Chains A and B, each alone.
Chain A
Amino acid sequence: MMIIFIILPIFSWSVVVANLNVANLNGLKAQFQTAIKSFSDISSLHYTLAGIKELGVQLPDSYCDNINKLVDKSNVESIYHATEASKTLVNCKLPAEDYRAILTAVLQSEDSKTAEIYFAVRSSVNLGLTVDESKIEKRLNLLAKTDDSVVSQGYALLTGAQLSQTIAKSYADTINDLVQQADEIDGSILQYEGGIGATALIFNAFYEVAEKAGVPVKIDSKQLIKFATYFSSKRHVATLRSAYYLTKIFKHLSDNKNQVPVVVSRISPSAISPQNPSVLVSVTNILGQPVGEMSVVAESAKRKEDGVVVISKQKLISKASDFSVYELPFYDTKIPRGFYTIHLTLTARNEGKLIGLTDNMIDVKVTSEGSIENVELTVSDRDNTAQAKTYKLSYPNGQTDKLELDYHQKLTIKFQIKDKQSGEFVRVQQAFLRFTNKKSNKEIIYLAEPSDGANSQYKVEVDLITNANDFRHQSDTYEVVLILGDSLLQTAYEWKLNNNVQLTFHEDSLADKDHQKLYLPRPEIIHQFREDEKRPPNVVSLVFSALTALPLLVLLILWLKLGFNLAGLPLGLSPLGFHISHAAVFALMFFYWKCLNMFQTVRYLALVSIPLFLFGHRVLSTLAARREKKV
């Protein structure tokens, strides 16, 4: 069993609240550059060419041939992609006459969806064809009544952006309604149903239509940041379409004529130590570009576990000439170890359209150096700890002598970990004792548990009878190593206590469990029906039934011998009635056995017992009278 443990301190931990990050432009660029090597269809060509142009790369006109080859002249969407792609190249003119008929047909047709209307309008504009704006506006209004999905509304905005400024303005006024239809996740992200593809298309539409209308995009700054958080969280997108729209959105979000969200992130390592005493913070826009001179103040730095505030209203020092990096000296021997959250507020020197200046949180941790103290290795008898041999060890020296343990002994290791700065004994997240079989390299690991209270003494005990099964009773030479690690400890420890420990177990060694076999199919379980009880052969049962009837004969014989007084049997209605009802009771019992249930039987019994009682009473009183007479 090989367990691999991370023994270096963990440097990052998951952030619960989604943060605004700098966009992964390199990733997007790489995605476009890979796509440009081969095309499968016109839409990929469009998005790749357009996307890579947004990122500042101009492609040669040779791609014009690809456009003409891939376009499907009968499909309006294909035409749209073709015209868009041709616009990115310097000199690629598509023959407008080839497409005029299709485009007009789509615009006239009653069945065209909003997306198709957009494709037709945009293609016409790209090709220089005129469109009937009022008709299109009417068509869009009709479609808005039947199809109110957010994507359709997005396409309507995009179409509006192709028409006159007044029409565009009327659409720009609906942006806020569309924003209200977005879904909020965890209070920090806004997105639309349909994921990144739909959200990116719609969000981009806001900007396009607002630009045509000549008005700023009216979105509440908090909501804009939530959208921006959503987009910046998409480090990789699957489709080229999403990649293209995402690129456009990042450019819109860093354009100074719109609201620009500010990205504040830590660029120094998360662990604060004497070697790394300051927190470095970068302040940029979403594309990673500087946003001008700022005053950055750390409002507070609170420790996560108990809210202790260690820094208050401290101004950060500007470190870069373009005002994009700021420094906060943090390390101080008086600051205890722990996880800290720093709350930063920014104030811009030039009142621009920067948003997201307040409520920026940075997480850091202050680690400390530890030392392993009071290490004791004890070999003692299982039953009486009187015979114990204790060795005191000090890190990093292990034992050099061979240690031999057999099955009536146990090994105990005790130690404490001290924080060098504060002098108190601390608990760590990982404290293990590892035995490694030197022949087979099998590892057996035990957990060291701390005692309660302030002195946190760790103890781990390995008993050669109780724990023998962990070792599979394999009596061999083992290496004993102590492993300690914690995220707030500056260094982790892997200390070889003894290289030569001979363990001898009582029973024969068992083979190691073959873990490969655990996941193979197990033997099939076949359902076993309950076996019938063993019954004797019918003959035996019949013989014994006859035997049971035999004593009846004996009884008759005895009664005859004794002189059964049948002569004194009274005759008449009452005795007859008595005997009949008596027999009826027995018959009822027979029927009860055969087919009746208790309720029916009791009812019949009640019925029969009436005559039984009456006749019996009469017979018995007759007999009593006769007896009295005799006497």
Chain B
Amino acid sequence: MSQLGQVAGILGKLNNEYQTTTPKKLKLIDAYLVYVLLTGIVQFAYCLLVGTFPFNSFLSGFISTVGCFILGASLRIQLNKANQSTFNVSPERAFADFVFAHVILHLVVVNFIG
């Protein structure tokens, strides 16, 4: 019981820290990432429940969510001011990369979706 309590305590503290220290921009991106994650979970649940037919569609959908998540995560990393030392890119440049990569991702996904 105490262990659970400890875990709950830690989680609560984490949440607090997050809400206070994270800038708004990053929180927006986090929300986007959560959305993408949920979509991926829904797709996967469908596949588990109903079956893999048509497999190519499932794969392309799932990979689309995974790809979007990764691109979103990388955008977040690049925009985080704490990482300014490692990444020397302007936020605009990061965003442009984000859009460009997305175009290519969507091209591939739509090709594969069948």
Tell me the A residues contacting B by CB distance below 8 Å. 533-536, 540-541, 544, 547-548, 550-552, 554-555, 558-559, 562-565, 582, 585-586, 589, 592-593, 598, 601-602, 605, 609, 612, 616-617, 620-621, 623-624, 627
* Contacts A533-B51, A555-B31, A558-B35 supplied; 16 other A-B pairs, CB < 8 Å: A534-B51, A544-B45, A547-B42, A550-B38, A551-B39, A554-B34, A555-B34, A562-B31, A565-B24, A589-B106, A589-B107, A593-B113, A605-B103, A616-B96, A621-B92, A624-B90
Given contacts A550-B42, A551-B42, contact A563 B24 (CB under 8 A): yes
From residue B93, how far is it (CB to closest CB) to chain A in Å? 8
Residues in chain B within 8 A of chain A (CB atoms): 24, 27-28, 31-32, 34-36, 38-39, 42-43, 45-46, 50-51, 53, 90-93, 95-96, 99, 103, 106-107, 110-111, 113
Known: A534-B51, A589-B110, A620-B92. A559 touches B103 (CB 8 A): no
* Given A548-B43, A551-B39, A598-B111: A620 touches B103 (CB 8 Å cut-off): no
| Inter-chain contacts of A564 with B (CB < 8 A) | 28
Q: Is the CB of A535 within 8 A of B31?
A: no
Give the complex CA separation of A326 and B53 in angstroms: 91
Question: In the complex the two chains form, is A609's CB within 8 Å of B42's CB?
Answer: no
Main secondary structure of the interface of B (DSSP, over half): helix
Q: How far is the CA of A593 from the CA of B111 in the complex (A)?
A: 7
Q: Is the interface of A mostly helix, strand, loop or mixed?
A: helix
Q: B53 contacts A533, CB within 8 Å?
A: yes
Distance in angstroms between the alpha carbons of A616 and B45 in the assembled complex: 37
Closest to A596 in B: B110
Q: Are B24 and A609 touching (Cβ within 8 A)?
A: no
Given A559-B28, A605-B107, CB of A582 within 8 Å of CB of B53: no
Q: Nearest chain-B residue to A535 (Cβ)?
A: B53
A592 close to B50 (CB less than 8 A) = no
User: Would B110 and A544 count as touching, CB distance under 8 A?
Assistant: no
Q: How many Å from the CB of A346 to the closest CB on chain B?
A: 88
Most buried by B among A551, A563, A609, A612: A551
- Give the complex CA separation of A562 and B24 in angstroms: 7
Contact, CB under 8 Å: B35 / A554 = yes
Residues of B within 8 A of A541 (CB): 50
- Closest residue on chain B to residue A565 by CB atoms: B24
B31 partner residues in chain A, CB cutoff 8 A:
555, 558-559, 562
Bound Cα distance from A598 to B111, whole angstroms: 7
A554/B107 contact (C-beta < 8 A), A559-B28, A620-B92, A624-B92 known: no
Contact across chains for B95 and A544 when beta carbons are under 8 A apart: no
Complex CA distance for A586 and B110, rounded to whole angstroms:
10
Q: Are A616 and B111 in contact (CB under 8 A)?
A: no
Residue in B24, B96, B110 whose beta carbon sits within 8 Å of that of A593 in the complex: B110
Instruction: Output the least CB separation between B76 and chain A (Å).
Output: 14
> Contact partner of A551 among B35, B110, B113, CB < 8 A?
B35
